[in-house]
A and B are shown apart, each in its own frame.
Chain A
Amino acid sequence: MKRLPFEKPLSELLDKIDQLKALAQSEGIDLSAEIAKIEERATMVRQDLYANLTPIDVVQIARHPNRPDALSLAMMITDEWTELHGDRQFGDDPSIIGGVGRLGDHRVVIIGHQKGHDTKENLHRNFGMPHPEGYRKAMRLMMLANQFQMPIITFIDTPGAYPGLTAEERGQAEAIARNLKVMAGLEVPILSVVIGEGGSGGALGIGLSNRLFMMQYAVYSVISPEGCASILFRDAKKADVAAKALRITASDIMSMGICHGILPEPLGGAHHDWQAVATTIQSQLIDTLRHYEGWTPEQWVTERWQHFRKLGPFIENGEPANMPSFC
C-alpha cells in the first residue's frame, strides 16, 4: 500500500518488519518475538503521527489511492444495490456513479463522485472529475428520488469538476448551477458525506444537502491547496501553507457550521479498513434518516434554505453576523 510522505518514520519500521518476515520464511527461523516488538513500536509511531497531522498531511490521506470509493461504499451499505446509468441527454459519465438500494428500512438513491484506485481505473473515471453530463446524470437521479419520495445520499470525492474544452462546450458552469438550484427545492431529505476530497464547485454540485458529514481525514475546499498556493502565494510549493490558511479539515468545516458531524476513521486512515468505514457511514445515515421520520416535504426544503441562508460572515453597521465559532 502506498505510504504517504509524512509516514516516513513509520515506513522504516514497516520495511524492517517486511525484511524480518521474509528472512523468517526463507531461513525457516522463528522471529515472531522480534516482529511483534517492532509491530508494537510501529503502532505507537503511527498513533503519534496521526495525532499530530498537519492540514497537508490530511490532504494526502484524503487522496490516498486505496481509499474506499463511492461505488464500493454504496454496495457495502445497502441491500439490493442496483447501479443506474446515463443523463438521458448526452452520455454516461463514469466520474459520477448512481443507483438505488435499501439502506436499513429506507429505499434510497445514492450518487457519488467516483475515483479509481490505479492508473487504468483513473483514466476510465477521469480521476473523479465529472463533465456536465455527470452533473446532469446526478440531477436525473435526484429527480427520480423526488418522484418516488426516496431520500438522497451523496458521496463527495473529487479534485473538482473537469476543467477542459469539452466540459466548457457542454456547459459545465450551468450544469453545476442548475444542480444547486434544483437540489434546494427537492422534497426529500438529502444527506452528503465527504468521503475523501471535497474539491470546490465540483464537490458542491452534488452537495447542497440537509446534513453534511465529513470523514475524519476528508477535506473540503474552495480551491485545491496547490491551486491556491500558485495563485495567491505565487509559489506552488507553498501548498502546505495554503492548506492551513484555507481551513479545509473536517473540524475547521464543522466550526464554520457547514458540516454537521465528523465520522471517525480507523488508525492510519480509511484505506486500512473499508468495512469499518462502511459500518460507520451506514449507522450515521440510518440514524439521521430516523431523525427525519414524519417530516413533511416542505420541512426538508425549509431546513436546507435556512441552513444555507445563514452561511457567510459579514459586518453591518459595526455588528458582525454569521461568525464562525472560532472567532
Chain B
Amino acid sequence: MSIVDWFAKKEKSNAQHAQSAKLNIPGDVWIKCPACSAILFQKDLEANHKVCGECQHHFRLSPAERIATMTDAGSFVSHDDAVGPIDFLSFKDTESYQLRIQKAQSKSQAKDAVLTGVATIQGVSVNVAVMDFGFMGGSMGSVVGEKITRTIERAIQNGHPVLIFSSSGGARMQEGIMGLMQMAKTSAALQQLATHRIPYVSVMCDPTTGGTSASFATLGDINLAEPGALISFAGPRVIEQTIRQKLPKGAQRAEFLLQHGMLDKVVHRKELPATIAKLLRLLTPPSLGTPLGTPPSQRSGS
C-alpha cells in the first residue's frame, strides 16, 4: 500500500527538522514552500488558506483548518467524537499499535484519523467528514470506517448531502484484514445512500491513495480534487519497488486524473466552498430522500 510514501516523507521531514534546529531558524514564523522554495511568512500563508502565494501549491490542512476554510463560521457540529481505536490484534512492528495510537492522539487531540459532523457550506446543509493525514498517515482503520459509515447513515436520516474530504495513505495495516474490510463497509453504505437519491461530493486532497481511493473517495457522484493532489491506487514508491517502473513527472497528480477522465474538476482551494455549494444545490432533487422507484404521488417534499 502506498502508506510507504508516508513513512518516507516522515523520515525526510525528521531530517529537515534536525537541520533547521541546527541553523536556529524558528520554524513557526517562516515556511519554505516545498514546491517552489519561496520563503513564506506563516501568517500570510494562513490568511491565504495555506496556499503558496507564489506558485499556488496547496499545503495540507488539519481537519480543524479544513472545517474553518470550507464551512460557514460556527456552523460545524461534530458527531461521534467518542469513537476510538482499539488494538484488537495486539499488533507490534517496530513499535506497538497501542503506542502509535497514543502518540497520534496526543499530537492531534483527536481519537482517530477522521473528523465527522454536520455543517453548512454557503448556506447548504451537509454531512461532512474530513480525514486527517497527520494521524498515522490518514490511514483507514475501523474507526475511520465506522465514522464515515455513520456520516452516510446520518445523511439517509436527515436527507442532507454527504461531503467527504479525503487525505489518506490507504488501509491501516495495524488492523490487518479489518482495515481492508472498511473499504467494503463504506462502499456498501454509499450504495444505500444512492437508493435515496442523496448526493455525495468527494473532494480528494493530497494524498488520496490505496484503500481510501479504492473505496469511498472515488465513489462521489461528483469527484473533485485540489490542485496537485496525489491520487492513486498504488503510490509511486510502491510502483517503483514492485514493478521497477519509474513514473513520468506529474503522473498520479490531480491534473493527470482529470485528463484521464477520473475527476469532474480540479478546484483551487479558494473556490471550493462556492463550487461545492453550487453543485449540491443543482444536484439535490426537490423531493430529496425519496427512494428510487417511488411513484410521484407518494413522494414527500415540495
| B181 contacts across to A, CB distance below 8 A | 258, 308, 311-312
The reply on A233 being an interface residue by CB < 8 A is yes
Write the B154-188 contact mask toward A (1 if CB under 8 angstroms, else 0): 00000000000000000101111111111111011
Nearest CB in chain B: distance from A125 CB, A: 15
| B260 contacts across to A, CB distance below 8 A | 169-171
| B77 contacts across to A, CB distance below 8 A | none
| B248 contacts across to A, CB distance below 8 A | 165
| A65 contacts across to B, CB distance below 8 A | none
**Interface of chain A residues 149 through 194 with chain B (CB within 8 A):** 161, 163-165, 167-174, 176-178, 180-182, 184-185
The reply on A231 being an interface residue by CB < 8 A is yes
B262, A174: Cβ atoms closer than 8 Å: yes
B94, A233: Cβ atoms closer than 8 Å: yes
A312, B182: Cβ atoms closer than 8 Å: yes
Nearest CB in chain A: distance from B227 CB, A: 19
Q: Interface stretch among B59-67, B79-87, B266-274?
A: B79-87
CA distance A97 to B62 in the complex (A): 44
The reply on A248 being an interface residue by CB < 8 A is yes
A163-B238, A164-B239, A164-B245 in contact; A317/B82 too (CB < 8 A)? yes
| A228 contacts across to B, CB distance below 8 A | 93, 173
A177-B216, A222-B171 in contact; A309/B233 too (CB < 8 A)? no
B233, A313: Cβ atoms closer than 8 Å: no
B176, A248: Cβ atoms closer than 8 Å: yes
B86, A313: Cβ atoms closer than 8 Å: yes
| B143 contacts across to A, CB distance below 8 A | 312, 314
A173, B83: Cβ atoms closer than 8 Å: no
Chain A, residue nearest B174 (CB) = A232
The reply on A146 being an interface residue by CB < 8 A is no
B184, A204: Cβ atoms closer than 8 Å: yes
Nearest CB in chain A: distance from B264 CB, A: 12
The reply on A11 being an interface residue by CB < 8 A is no
The reply on B31 being an interface residue by CB < 8 A is no
Nearest CB in chain B: distance from A262 CB, A: 15
The reply on B45 being an interface residue by CB < 8 A is no
| A161 contacts across to B, CB distance below 8 A | 214, 233-234
Nearest CB in chain B: distance from A166 CB, A: 9
Nearest CB in chain B: distance from A180 CB, A: 4
| B142 contacts across to A, CB distance below 8 A | 311-314, 322
The reply on A123 being an interface residue by CB < 8 A is no
CA distance A204 to B182 in the complex (A): 11
Nearest CB in chain A: distance from B3 CB, A: 6
The reply on B247 being an interface residue by CB < 8 A is yes
The reply on A263 being an interface residue by CB < 8 A is no
The reply on B72 being an interface residue by CB < 8 A is no
A313, B178: Cβ atoms closer than 8 Å: yes
Report the interface size for chain B: residues with CB under 8 A from the other chain.
71
The reply on A246 being an interface residue by CB < 8 A is yes
Write the B244-286 contact mask toward A (1 if CB under 8 angstroms, else 0): 0101100110000000111000000000000000000000000
Nearest CB in chain B: distance from A29 CB, A: 53
* Other-chain contact of B233, A172, A320, A327 (Cβ < 8 Å): A172
| A35 contacts across to B, CB distance below 8 A | none
B180, A165: Cβ atoms closer than 8 Å: no
The reply on A6 being an interface residue by CB < 8 A is no
A222, B239: Cβ atoms closer than 8 Å: no
B88, A165: Cβ atoms closer than 8 Å: no
The reply on B89 being an interface residue by CB < 8 A is yes
B233, A308: Cβ atoms closer than 8 Å: no
* Other-chain contact of A204, B141, B180, B210 (Cβ < 8 Å): B180
Chain A, residue nearest B239 (CB) = A163
| B238 contacts across to A, CB distance below 8 A | 163, 227
B242, A308: Cβ atoms closer than 8 Å: no
Chain A, residue nearest B171 (CB) = A222
B176, A222: Cβ atoms closer than 8 Å: yes
Binding site for A on B (CB under 8 A): 1, 3-4, 7, 80, 82-86, 88-89, 91-94, 141-143, 145-146, 149, 171, 173-185, 187-192, 194-195, 209-211, 213-219, 231-234, 238-239, 241-243, 245, 247-248, 251-252, 260-262
Residue contacts A-B, CB under 8 angstroms, 6 given? A163-B239, A168-B251, A246-B177, A256-B178, A304-B188, A313-B178
